[in-house]
Structure formats: structure tokens, C-alpha cells
Amino acid sequence: MLDHSHNRPTLPAEIARRRTFAIISHPDAGKTTLTEKFLLFGGAIQMAGQVRAKGEARRTRSDFMQMEKDRGISVSASAMSFDYGQFRFNLVDTPGHSDFSEDTYRTLTAVDAAIMVIDGAKGVESQTRKLFEVCRLRDLPILTFCNKMDREARDTFEIIDEIQENLAIDVTPASWPIGMGRDFIGCYDILRDRLELMDRADRNRVAESIKIEGLSDPKLAEHVPAALLEKLREELEMARELLPAFDRQAFLDGTLTPIWFGSAINSFGVKELMDGIGNYGPPPQIQRSESREIAPEEKSVTGFVFKVQANMDPKHRDRVAFVRLASGHFERGMKLLHVRSKKPMAVSNPVLFLAADRELAEEAWAGDIIGIPNHGQLRIGDALTEGEALRFTGIPSFAPELLQNVRAGDPMKAKHLEKALMQFAEEGAAKVFKPIIGSGFIVGVVGALQFEVLASRIELEYGLPVRFESSQFTSARWISGPKAEVEKFVNVNKGHIAADHDGDMVYLTRLQWDIDRVERDYPALKLTATKEMM
């Protein structure tokens, strides 16, 4: 559990101004559009483009990468940093595909808060719910943005009720919509007593904002048609009676979510939301390790790898490991201890995903995400420190629940397939097993759609059409134990043994009965459904 209590030492100003968060949503709710407006108002891009790929082509890649392709703007994948007022925002991208993968979970281990975007007409959808549950596991504070208010939306109370009931979280309105669909004119900003009016003529223009002295202020009638004003007053009164007021601690504890209403495409409500993250959102939080808690203000630098990405630059076959700094002030060229290999590592060319371009990071602070190019030494879960042998906890690994055989459409291209699969295994996008007898590979995933996503990525990135086919096996177990015993077991069960991408042995089975039998016949062996990440 993260510690959001106020009884902590004051953070150094550079750390206190950081806000590291992700946006979660169901496909089509408007995450990409909202991200784009964030970048626009953060000065990271000059203009919001209107060109976009449609459908699955878009979803299979990171939304950031897709934006880069579609709009010719250079926003690098996975994390973006930009300044907004006094704040430094680190926006971490959650994978854009519509199925769940381990990637998604892990991304959420690198952030301190999340913005949940819902579509005003559709409310809480399946993917929102799943992602929300992951946030709840970590008690992440959540800000809600109810998007597409320029269209016919549901009744405001109904939307709030649905969130409260469906997600079992208290909701407090930070703003209140005035009118709906074609009659939507803007919002009443409850937290700051302002009237925000939407500009329908220019989508990139920020709304007019008028200071209001309470609901009886005559200024309201100047801008809001009488019928809408009456309804607004009634609804706000009801809201005050029925809904909890904003309470920062409850928000930081993850039990209360403030909701803003707006229209991302019309740049409406976006700045209010950004102000909300800045003013109320958590600064970098304490991280946990096996031996102790790590506070962001600690002097020495620590961080953990939460994502590895290959093929970011087609010219180089390098990988970039994304590191969330847990503590300290990092400076370029620092020598850090790579805890798993016990070897020092000079971090000479770290990348900070700043503004319009990737930039060499000269420095970074706790809460920041830096990218470290490497040749495969850095793995998900790895710790980097100034000497302490820390092991961060809370980075989940999942048991592959579905197994399928994979074949290259062109048998001559088997080597290419192997390379592609190894890349995805390293990225943590799938588990890849090579049976010790015969040819071919078995791929293990958590959700069925991941097979489609993998197939489309292999085709896109390696120009290789592939087929996934059902496998005779239904589950995989990592084998550990005394060496002689493991060898004996492997020899007797060759038809069931495969190696994962690290060369570790896995037992493939069809039935739980098989596993029970092994446990009975080989008491010295240990079979585990997940492999330690570190």
C-alpha cells in the first residue's frame, strides 16, 4: 500500500512538483485525444492534429507511438514529461490495445495516480472496470474525466451513481455540466466557483472562465440561459445534499474520486483536470522493497525497470529499459549498481521523454521516468541503486493462462519468428517456450486477444505473417530443485519440457492431475506457475 499520509518530511521542491500518472479508459472513450490536449497545454506539441488511424491498426501500438506516426510529431513511446505551470507532469502511457496484458499492470506500478476517462454516453465500460481494479489493488488516487459532453450524454446523477455502484468508490463532482449535447454550454467549476464556457468555434481554444460569487451571482444569468440556470441551481443543490464534498485525504487514499465533465476534442475541461492533478494529485510516493521502504527524498538514487521496449528506433536493435526513479537526484553519467548482476553500470545516455523530442537526460528526480538504452542486460523488475542490494516488490508477474503454438506463415522464416518472439518475451508481452523436442514455439498469454495483438505486431514489425494454433498443453510450470533431480525429471518427461527465453526449464501439462503426480513422485522438485521477475 502506498503511503499518502501528510505526516512526511517536506519533499525537496523539485520532487514535490512532480506528478507521475497514467490515463486509463475503455477504447474510444477519448484517451488519445485527452493525451494530445495535455501535450498541447503542456507546450509539448504546437497543434493538435486531426488525422488518425482507425480501428485495430491504432490499438495494436502504443497510442503515443501511433500519434508519432499519424501526426508527424515526435512523442516517444511509453512516457512523456512536460511542464504545466509550476508542475512537472510525467504521463506514462498504458498500452493501447484493447486486451489486457501484463504490460498494463506493470505500467501502473510506475505511477502515483491515474486519470480514468469515461464516455458520457456509455459510462463505465468493461476495460475501465478492469483497469480500475488494478489501480485499486495499489490504492492509487483516481481522477475521473467524463468526456464527450458535447454529445448526448447520460444524466449527470446517473453517471455518478453508476461509477459509485459499479466501482464501489465515492464520487465528488469537481465540476457540473450545464446543458447537454447540442445545448451543452460549459461547466460550473465547483472547486473554484467559476463558470467555464466552451468555445464551439475553435476546438483548440480554451474556454472562457468567469469568476462567480456563489450561485446567486447575477453574472450567471448573463451567460447561462434561464432554463439551464434553473436546472443548474437545482442540481447543484441536490448534489450538495447527496454527494460527498471533496476531501483531499480520501482522494489520496483512493476512496474518493473527483469527477470533471468536459469534451477533450473541444479542449474543454482539460485544463481544469490538469490543475486538479497539479493541485491535489500526489507527489512521488514511497516505494517498497523487500528490506525496507524507499522514500523519494532519500539522497541516493534508486529506481526500478517497469518496462522494456525493443525496436523503438528501427536503425538500432537496442532496447530501452524504462526506469521509474524511486529516490534521489539522478545525474547523467552516474555509475549505478545493477543489483541483479551485481555489476556497475555507467548510465551515460539516459533518455528523458521531454516535450517535442527525446532528449538526453542531464538530470532527473524521484518520480521521473528515464529510458536507458541497453543491449538486453536490463530486465523488468531490475533495480538500479548507488550500491544497496535492493529488491523492489510489487511488480507482478502473471501465470500464462492460455497456451498456443505459433508458426511462421513462411517456414523459411523460422529464425525471424524466433527473434520476434524473443523480443516480446523480453518486453514481457508474452511468455515464449521452446519445446526441447521438435520445432516451433509455444506462446503463453493472460488474455486471448493478446494472440491477435502479437500476430499483428509480428507482421507489422518483422513483416512476418504468423499463425497461432491450439496447443495440446493448457498450462506451464517452472521447474526448480536439486540439479540431479531436475535432470532426471527432464529426461523422463522430454515430451513435456520446454525452455523459456532465459533457458529455464518449464513443464507443460494438460491436466492438474499431471502436476499433482509430479509433486507426489518428485517431492524435491518445485513447480511454480509464475517466475520471479527479479
Least distance from C-beta 267 to ligand G4P, angstroms?
Answer: 9
Least distance from C-beta 390 to ligand G4P, angstroms?
Answer: 36
34 close to 270: Cβ distance less than 8 angstroms? yes
* Measured distance CA(43)–CA(34) in Å, rounded: 14
Nearer to ligand G4P, 449 or 499 (CB): 449
Least distance from C-beta 98 to ligand G4P, angstroms?
Answer: 9
Angle at Cα 100 formed by Cα 289 and Cα 92, nearest 5°?
55
Which residues are bridge partners to 363 per DSSP? 331
Nearer to ligand G4P, 432 or 453 (CB): 453
Q: CA dist 381 to 262, 363, 390, 392, 427, Å?
A: 37, 22, 11, 7, 11
Least distance from C-beta 60 to ligand G4P, angstroms?
Answer: 12
Q: CA dist 91 to 206, 227, 362, Å?
A: 21, 40, 19
Nearer to ligand G4P, 115 or 498 (CB): 115
Nearer to ligand G4P, 117 or 380 (CB): 117
Least distance from C-beta 64 to ligand G4P, angstroms?
Answer: 11
Pairing mode of beta strands 79-84, 186-189 = unpaired
Least distance from C-beta 25 to ligand G4P, angstroms?
Answer: 5
Binding-site ranges for ligand G4P (CB under 6 A): 25, 27-33, 52, 63, 147-148, 150-151, 263-266
* Measured distance CA(6)–CA(4) in Å, rounded: 6
Nearer to ligand G4P, 27 or 440 (CB): 27
Give SS3 for 84. Answer: strand
281 close to 246: Cβ distance less than 8 angstroms? no
Alpha helices in 93-173 (DSSP H): 102-107, 126-137, 156-167
Nearer to ligand G4P, 49 or 409 (CB): 49
Buried b (16+ CB within 10 A) or exposed e, 283-313: bbbbbbbeeeebbbbeeebbbbbbbbbbbbe
Least distance from C-beta 111 to ligand G4P, angstroms?
Answer: 18
Give SS3 for 488. Answer: helix
Least distance from C-beta 264 to ligand G4P, angstroms?
Answer: 4
Rg (CA), the chain: 25
Closest alpha carbon to 364 in 338, 337, 392, 336: 336
Q: Where are the beta strands (DSSP E) in 247-401?
A: 256-261, 287-288, 293-294, 302-310, 319-327, 329-331, 335-338, 343-346, 351-354, 357-360, 363-365, 369-374, 383-385
Least distance from C-beta 77 to ligand G4P, angstroms?
Answer: 15
Alpha helices in 55-155 (DSSP H): 55-59, 63-71, 102-107, 126-137
Nearer to ligand G4P, 181 or 333 (CB): 181
Q: DSSP secondary structure string, 381-392?
A: T-EEESS----B
Least distance from C-beta 177 to ligand G4P, angstroms?
Answer: 12
Nearer to ligand G4P, 31 or 413 (CB): 31
Copy the grid coordinates of residue 7: 505526516
Nearer to ligand G4P, 197 or 422 (CB): 197
Closest alpha carbon to 75 in 48, 55, 108, 113: 48
- Neighbouring C-beta atoms of residue 201, cutoff 10 Å: 7
Nearer to ligand G4P, 266 or 471 (CB): 266
Pairing mode of beta strands 113-119, 18-25 = parallel
Nearer to ligand G4P, 128 or 287 (CB): 128
Least distance from C-beta 148 to ligand G4P, angstroms?
Answer: 4
Nearer to ligand G4P, 61 or 148 (CB): 148
Nearer to ligand G4P, 29 or 171 (CB): 29
Give SS3 for 223. Answer: helix
What secondary structure letter does DSSP report for 289? B
